[in-house]
Structure 1
Amino acid sequence: MLDPELQELISGFPLVTEVTAEMLPIMRAGAASDADALLAGRAISRREVTATASDGTAIPMTVITPAESTPGAACVYWLHGGGMILGDRFSQLDIQLEWVERLGVVVVTAEYRLAPEATGSTPVEDAFQGLRWVSEHADELGIDPNRLVVAGISAGGGLAAGVTLMARDLGGPAIAAQLLICPMLDHRNDTASSRQYAGQPGIWTHETNRFAWNAVLGDMPAELVPSYVSPARADDLSGLPATYVDAGSAEVFRDEDVAYASRIWAAGGQAELHVWAGGFHGFDAVFPEAALSVAARAARTRWLTGVITRSA
Structure 2
Amino acid sequence: MPLVPPPFDPELAACLESLGDAAAPGFRLADLDAARRGTCLAAPDLTSGGVFEVSEYAVPGPPGAPGIPLLVCRPRGTTAPLPVLYHVHGGGMMAGTDRAGVEVPLDWARELGAVVVSVDYRLAPEHPHPAPVEDVYAGLVWTAEH
Q: Mark the runs of 5 or more structure 1 residues left unpaired by the alignment.
A: 138-312
Tell me the CA shift for residue 69 of structure 1: 3.2
Tell me whether 1:38 sits opposite 2:64 in the alignment: no
From the superposition, tell whether residues 11 and 121 of structure 1 become closer, same or farther in structure 2 (CA, over 3 Å). closer
From the superposition, tell whether residues 31 and 110 of structure 1 become closer, same or farther in structure 2 (CA, over 3 Å). farther
Provide the residue aligned with 2:117 in structure 1. Answer: 108
Provide the residue aligned with 1:92 in structure 2. Answer: 101
From the superposition, tell whether residues 52 and 32 of structure 1 become closer, same or farther in structure 2 (CA, over 3 Å). farther
RMSD of aligned residue pairs (Cα, Å): 2.4
Superposition misfits of 4+ residues, deviation over 3 angstroms: 10-13, 31-35
- Residue 46 of structure 2 contacts residue 73 of structure 2 at CA under 8 Å; is this kept in 1? no
Q: Structure 2: how far apart are the matches of 1:124 and 1:99?
A: 24
From the superposition, tell whether residues 80 and 31 of structure 1 become closer, same or farther in structure 2 (CA, over 3 Å). farther
From the superposition, tell whether residues 39 and 7 of structure 1 become closer, same or farther in structure 2 (CA, over 3 Å). closer
- Residue 85 of structure 2 contacts residue 109 of structure 2 at CA under 8 Å; is this kept in 1? no
Provide the residue aligned with 1:124 in structure 2. Answer: 133
Tell me the CA shift for residue 136 of structure 1: 1.9
Q: Structure 2: how far apart are the matches of 1:110 and 1:55?
A: 18
From the superposition, tell whether residues 39 and 11 of structure 1 become closer, same or farther in structure 2 (CA, over 3 Å). closer
Tell me the CA shift for residue 95 of structure 1: 0.7
Q: Structure 2: how far apart are the matches of 1:78 and 1:26?
A: 24
Aligned positions, number? 133
SS in 1 for 2:139: helix
Q: Structure 2: how far apart are the matches of 1:107 and 1:125?
A: 20
Bigger Rg over Cα: 1
Q: Mark the runs of 5 or more structure 2 residues left unpaired by the alignment.
A: 18-22
CA-to-aligned-CA distance 1:277-300 (integer Å, 9 cap, x gap)? xxxxxxxxxxxxxxxxxxxxxxxx
Q: Structure 2: how far apart are the matches of 1:33 and 1:134?
A: 27
Matched residue type, 2:37: A
Tell me whether 1:77 sits opposite 2:90 in the alignment: no
**What TM-score results when the alignment is normalised by the length of structure 1?**
0.39
From the superposition, tell whether residues 89 and 121 of structure 1 become closer, same or farther in structure 2 (CA, over 3 Å). same
Matched residue type, 1:51: V
**What TM-score results when the alignment is normalised by the length of structure 2?**
0.78
SS in 2 for 1:86: coil
